[in-house]
């Protein structure tokens, strides 16, 4: 028997506008509302609304035999309310079927577990509360930002009462083992780990429209055969992917919606196949082994590590300075300041600073509002400097000590003090250039 577990990540960041160094101390308007509205409404029309309608039709057609799950970030939910309330209503309609599970995550799609477990817990609590309010479910399965996972996180989640967690089925972790079984972490025997079958997932998410792929075109019959082959060799096929796969990454004219419309029926032709939510998978099957994951693993890029967000000095410096301000921000009692700071924890801000322009370059440019990673860094650090002033740091002094190299902020403040303009193209690029090949 093989159970197919569909999980879709739904997230849209709140992008920063091009916040100038000359606005520091004068304006606290950090986010590009116009751009965020445009992107959200565009993706809603191409993906969220048509795909939600399709899933609802499939549930009506197959009843409880067809099930899916979602993890929707809090910042996405907030934007649905502001810019596309019809999307939120369509998710509520799916929730009412009883065939859709909503998972827990950090409210701001953040990397908070890497830096501050108290902040992590606050964001998880806020997200779970929001899911309960909107969809009437209390999440028991956790999906960390971009499937980032290790032993320590498993132990922490077990202590919080979660029954299962999603993770990447990375080859360097599994070795000879299969992602088509459940596992536990060596530090947390009480929580079950569901691993993404990245080959079958990526066949849809990344390769579906690739005419150079030897399996193109991907038909439902061919794909169903691949899933059916797991019978006798595993319990579950975890198909985890971005929801934007449907209609945005893979456009409607590729046939992706027709593929998804026909897939459940084709899979259910096999008498041993079924669809289950993550909670149902965790309840139905026992772990077959123990994973020992000391280092963090994610589903990002070829490396499956943290280098997409923390692979260069710009990213690491920005992250350090952001979390160094946390306690001062909360101590201020300023609800607007606290909300601004939390929205800055969204992982996408650091992703935009990534300098991996090799095999993963096209992925990092998708939906990136900046021409270069350096532009993303400057915008973020300008905002952080204003946040520092809002929590009482002395104005006119460099508050952010970035690296052993001369701080970009020092250069900005010096130029501003001299009455000169500052632009990304004026920056000391020889200082930054080596970052393009740096790895951790």
Residue 170 lies in a domain: yes
d(CA 246, CA 49): 11
Same domain, 231 and 374: no
Same domain, 190 and 334: no
Residue 299 lies in a domain: no
Same domain, 178 and 235: yes
Residue 298 lies in a domain: no
Same domain, 221 and 359: no
End-of-domain residue from the set 291, 317, 346 = 291
**Within 10 Å of residue 38's Cβ, how many Cβ atoms?**
12
Domain that residue 317 falls in? 309-437
Residues 6+ apart with CB under 8 A from 281: 3, 5, 164, 182, 194, 235, 236, 238
> What token pair was written down for 311?
């692979």
Same domain, 35 and 184: yes
Same domain, 146 and 232: yes
Same domain, 369 and 283: no
Q: Which of 336, 409, 337, 345 is nearest to 378 (CA)?
A: 409
Q: How many domains does the chain have?
A: 2
* Helix, strand, coil content of the chain in percent (nearest 5): 50, 15, 35
Q: Which of 391, 351, 399 is nearest to 373 (CA)?
A: 351
Which pTM value belongs to this model?
A: 0.88
Q: Which of 69, 193, 70, 75 is nearest to 127 (CA)?
A: 75
Residue 300 lies in a domain: no
Same domain, 324 and 245: no
Residue 304 lies in a domain: no
End-of-domain residue from the set 291, 324, 340 = 291
Same domain, 353 and 252: no
Mapping DSSP onto H, E and C, the string for 267-309 reads HHCCCCEEECCHHHHHHHCCCCEEECCCCCECCCCCCCCCHHH
Same domain, 264 and 181: yes
pLDDT at 23: 96
Residue pair 195/183 in contact (Cβ under 8 Å)? The answer is yes
Q: What is the CATH number of the domain that holds 73?
A: 3.20.110.20
d(CA 252, CA 43): 12
Residues 6+ apart with CB under 8 A from 435: 312, 313, 314, 355
pLDDT at 304: 82
d(CA 119, CA 216): 45
End-of-domain residue from the set 259, 291, 323 = 291
Residue 314 lies in a domain: yes
Same domain, 261 and 343: no
pLDDT at 303: 82
d(CA 306, CA 309): 6
Q: What is the DSSP string of 95-109?
A: HTTT-EEE-B--TT-
Residue 363 lies in a domain: yes
pLDDT at 419: 41
Same domain, 243 and 343: no
> 């701080």: which residue's tokens?
407
**Which residues have a catalytic role annotated?**
146
Residue 364 lies in a domain: yes
The CA distances from residue 259 to 49, 249, 250, 369, in Å, are: 17, 15, 11, 31
| H or E segment and range at residue 242 | strand 236-242
Task: List, for the chain, all residue ranges whose pLDDT scores fall below the cut of 70.
Answer: 357-367, 393-440
Cis check: omega of the bond before 264, within 30 degrees of 0 = no
pLDDT at 347: 97
């Amino acid at each position: 028997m093989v159970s197919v577990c569909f999980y879709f990540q739904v997230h849209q960041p709140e992008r920063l506008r091009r916040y100038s160094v000359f606005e520091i101390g004068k304006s606290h308007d950090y986010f590009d509302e116009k751009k965020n509205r445009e992107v959200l409404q565009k993706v809603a029309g191409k993906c969220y609304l048509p795909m939600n309608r399709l899933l609802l039709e499939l549930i009506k057609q197959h009843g409880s035999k067809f099930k899916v799950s979602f993890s929707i970030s809090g910042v996405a939910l907030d934007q649905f309310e502001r810019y596309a309330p019809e999307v939120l209503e369509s998710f509520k309609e799916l929730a009412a079927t009883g065939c859709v599970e909503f998972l827990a995550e950090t409210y701001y799609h953040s990397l908070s577990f890497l830096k501050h477990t108290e902040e992590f817990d606050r964001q998880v609590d806020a997200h779970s509360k929001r899911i309960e309010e909107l969809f009437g479910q209390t999440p028991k399965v956790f999906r960390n930002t971009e499937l980032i996972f290790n032993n320590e996180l498993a132990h922490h989640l077990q202590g919080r009462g979660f029954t299962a967690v999603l993770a990447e089925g990375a080859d360097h972790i599994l070795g000879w083992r299969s992602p088509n079984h459940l596992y536990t972490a060596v530090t947390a025997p009480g929580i079950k780990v569901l691993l993404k079958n990245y080959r079958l997932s990526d066949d849809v998410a990344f390769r579906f429209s690739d005419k150079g792929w030897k399996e193109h075109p991907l038909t439902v019959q061919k794909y169903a055969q691949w899933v059916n082959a797991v019978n006798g060799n595993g319990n579950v096929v975890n198909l985890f992917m971005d929801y934007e796969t449907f209609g945005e990454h893979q456009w409607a004219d590729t046939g992706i919606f027709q593929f998804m419309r026909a897939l459940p029926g084709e899979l259910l032709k096999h008498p041993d196949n079924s669809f289950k939510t993550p909670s149902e998978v965790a309840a139905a099957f026992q772990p077959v082994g123990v994973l020992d994951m000391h280092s963090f693993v994610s589903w990002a890029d070829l490396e499956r590590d943290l280098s997409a967000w923390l692979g260069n000095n710009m990213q690491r410096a920005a992250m350090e300075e952001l979390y160094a301000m946390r306690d001062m921000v909360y101590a201020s009692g300023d609800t607007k300041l606290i909300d601004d700071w939390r929205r800055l924890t969204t992982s996408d801000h650091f992703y935009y600073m990534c300098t991996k322009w090799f095999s993963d370059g096209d992925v990092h440019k998708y939906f990136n509002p900046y021409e270069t990673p350096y532009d993303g860094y400057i915008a973020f650090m300008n905002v952080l400097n204003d946040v520092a002033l809002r929590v009482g740091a002395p104005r006119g002094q460099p508050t952010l000590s970035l690296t052993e190299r001369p701080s970009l902020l020092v250069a900005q403040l010096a130029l501003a003090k001299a009455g000169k303009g500052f632009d990304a193209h004026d920056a000391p690029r020889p200082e930054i250039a080596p970052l393009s090949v740096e790895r951790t």
